[in-house]
Amino acid sequence: MVFSLVVSNTPYGPVAFGSLVIDLVGLGVLSAVFSMALLGLLGRITHHVKFFLLLAILVLVYAVGKTFHLSSLVVVLGFGVFLANAAYLPVAWFRKHFLYSGFKGDLDQMHQLSRESAFLLRAFFFVLFG
């Protein structure tokens, strides 16, 4: 976002930096809302194939964000940070509505799936460009 600010703005002033702050706050709020929605979805899906659905939704959010020229990776990064630290939030309302009994196991499975998918992609590109 800072790179975009440097490239697209010739006059650097309060308006340019104010726009950056508004974009950062907006993306933070969007990321928090999106993360809570995905965490709620993760807790309510009872089917055994739920992680690929979540990853597909993350790719969809990235694509929609790129279509509207948003910094989509910030939203995906926010989801990852939120999901990794959700158990440490001290808000009782959040714990009651979003954290469920199998959350830790699901989080471990999602980490394992993302590690294996990353290995598969690296192996594919190594063979392709090897």
Report pLDDT digits (tens) over 87-130: 888 888 888 888 888 888 888 988 898 899 899 999 999 999 87
- Using CA atoms, how far apart are residues 71 and 26, in angstroms rounded to an integer? 11
DSSP 87: G
Q: Which residue has the higher pLDDT, 2 or 37?
A: 37
Q: Could you give the number of structural domains in the chain?
A: 1
Report pLDDT digits (tens) over 52-99: 888 888 888 888 878 877 777 788 888 888 888 888 888 888 888 888
> What confidence score (pLDDT) does residue 30 get?
83
Domain of 83, in residue numbers: 2-129
How many residues make up the chain in this entry? 130
